[in-house]
Structure 1
Amino acid sequence: MIKSKDIAALILCAGRSARMGDFKPLLPLGRDNFIERVISLYRSVGIENIVVVCGHEAQRVIPELTRLGVKWVLNEHYDKGMFSSIQTGVNHLHGQDRAFFLHPADIPFVRPDTLQSLIAAFSTGEMDICRPCYQGKHGHPPLISLSLAAVIREFAEAGGMRTLLARYAEKSRDVQCNDSGILLDIDTPEDYEKALKNISPTHLFNS
């Protein structure tokens, strides 16, 4: 069984948040903000190797990441899209990590048991990628073998990560999760308003 200490989390925090009109990672969400909630998720299952990729508004988020005690890296070419941030982040993962979660910062409602299910599925050693599914739809975060790091670094085809995941479909496993949070990315003010209404007094999302 692979342990949490063998897993890293790569959190993407470099985008412009154009549809929201404000910088999503620092928006309040219950007692936390988006980025703090995602970091807390990984720490709750024992994952401490957390790398956050910054870009747009880096000067605002870096002090928060420093306060939270997590490693950050800067993608100076974040305007090229999310895949450029993935490639930047992969370059800063530890060689001893077995795999890494890939998690955009605007998907803050994933549950800890979903991560645990993905780690358990990956531990069988049969697949290079484990993807969470809810009601037949893929969501975040996929768990990806570090053996694919070199492929990710060199991949230059259109479609970025979506194309790469499709290319490795035969080495991927879908993990069914009773967790609607894997699909809930917060893109617009309307999404954000709805999310705030669904935070319970105990700071849990009501799925």
Structure 2
Amino acid sequence: MQGLLLAAGQSLRFGADKRLALVDGRPMALACALAMRAALDDVLVVLRAQDAALARELARHGIAVTHCADAALGMGHSLAHGVRETAQARGWVIGLADMPRVQPATIRAVADAVVDGGIAMPVFAGRRGHPVGFSRAYFSALSALRGDAGARAVVQAHAARVCELPTADSGVLFDIDAPQPP
């Protein structure tokens, strides 16, 4: 299962580049990537075209990156780019670089729950969270995404194929949108 971390956002609500905000002494994007790599063998981080410094920091930790030229057009573009870059994958666990509290065990559980033709997502306190796992059956739909809605439409269109995984990991709902201590 391919880990795909979306880290090409504009941080508009944050007021600065939140991917570089320190979480436990590390840039948030790096903390999220390391958690994903602790759970999955293959991880690719999708960055904006101009993210050379962040790319170097991730590479220093052995984390692969790709640059999405269309990242400014929305999360759908970044997600589609990452899926196309990993077209050989049997499926994807898609995480967000502003969710630094997701536990590696949760990421692994999502990956393990993806079956042929299925989608898996963690649920905490009755609310769906991230990361979300997609089987290879969704390659065409994911690789064609555009705009800023991410994969929401794919999940909605295939609601009967969604496997909800109850979890005690509140990190699946915790994202950072404003400067504050995490």
Do these two structures clear the TM 0.5 threshold for a shared fold by scoring above it?
Answer: yes
Q: Deviations over 1:91-135 (max 9, x none)?
A: 11151x32211111001100122123223322xx36510011101
**Maintained 8 Å contact 2:71/2:77:** yes
**Maintained 8 Å contact 2:117/2:137:** no
Any unmatched runs of 5+ in structure 1? 1-6, 196-207
Partner SS state of residue 151, structure 2: helix
Q: CA 1:31 to 1:158, structure 2 compared with 1: closer, same or farther past 3 Å?
A: closer
Any unmatched runs of 5+ in structure 2? none
% identity of equivalent residues: 26
CA-based RMSD = 2.0
**Maintained 8 Å contact 1:130/1:173:** yes
* Equivalences for residues 50-61 of structure 1 within 5 A: 50-55=43-48, 57-61=50-54
Residue type of the partner of 1:106? D
**Maintained 8 Å contact 1:12/1:54:** yes
**Maintained 8 Å contact 1:51/1:71:** yes
Which residue of structure 1 lines up, in the alignment, with residue 28 of structure 2? 34
* Structure 1 residue ranges, 4+ long, deviating more than 6 angstroms after superposition: none
Residue type of the partner of 1:110? V
Which residue of structure 1 lines up, in the alignment, with residue 63 of structure 2? 70
- The structural deviation recorded for 1:162 is 1.1
- The structural deviation recorded for 1:36 is 1.8
Q: CA 1:79 to 1:126, structure 2 compared with 1: closer, same or farther past 3 Å?
A: closer
* Equivalences for residues 1-207 of structure 1 within 5 A: 7-45=1-39, 47-55=40-48, 57-95=50-88, 97-122=89-114, 125=115, 128-155=118-145, 159-189=149-179, 192-193=180-181, 195=182
TM-score (norm: length of structure 2) = 0.91
- C-alpha separation in 2, matches of 1:99 and 1:110: 20
- C-alpha separation in 1, matches of 2:173 and 2:85: 27
Residue type of the partner of 1:169? A
- The structural deviation recorded for 1:147 is 2.3
- C-alpha separation in 1, matches of 2:11 and 2:148: 22
- Bigger Rg, structure 1 or 2: 1
